[in-house]
Amino acid sequence: MRASGVGEDAERVGRPPLATRIAALSFMLDAGFGVAMPVTLSHLNRHGGLPTTSWGFTAFDGPFAQLGQEPFVALGSALVAVLTTWEWSGREVLDRH
């Protein structure tokens, strides 16, 4: 008699496999950063500082923000470019299947 594994339980209930759920979570988190970064860069260019979130902390504050405005804009733009490329290539892979 085999013990029921996590994968078998997921199939029985109709949920997608764990790897698919982890990939979906990763995509949602990456998409959140990809959407928020252009807004943050726009705010930085208009006001000279990073925006404050609804929860009271400064968005994207950390070691990269300490480098100054120009390096932060370059790194933020690179992040958006990488996430956009990743999203686009993911769509092409899905379209092939």
Listed by start position, the domains of the chain span 33-96
Residue 34 has a pLDDT of 77
Which structure tokens are listed for 27? 């995509």
Q: Locate tokens 């390096």: which residue?
A: 71
Residue 79 has a pLDDT of 87
How far apart, in Å, are the Cα atoms of 3 and each of 8, 9, 45, 53, 62?
A: 10, 11, 58, 47, 47
Residue 27 has a pLDDT of 76
How far apart, in Å, are the Cα atoms of 50 and each of 8, 54, 71, 82, 83?
A: 47, 13, 13, 21, 21
pTM: 0.62
Q: Locate tokens 């990743």: which residue?
A: 86
Tens of pLDDT, residue by residue over 14-70, are 888 888 888 788 777 777 777 889 999 999 999 999 999 889 999 889 898 899 999
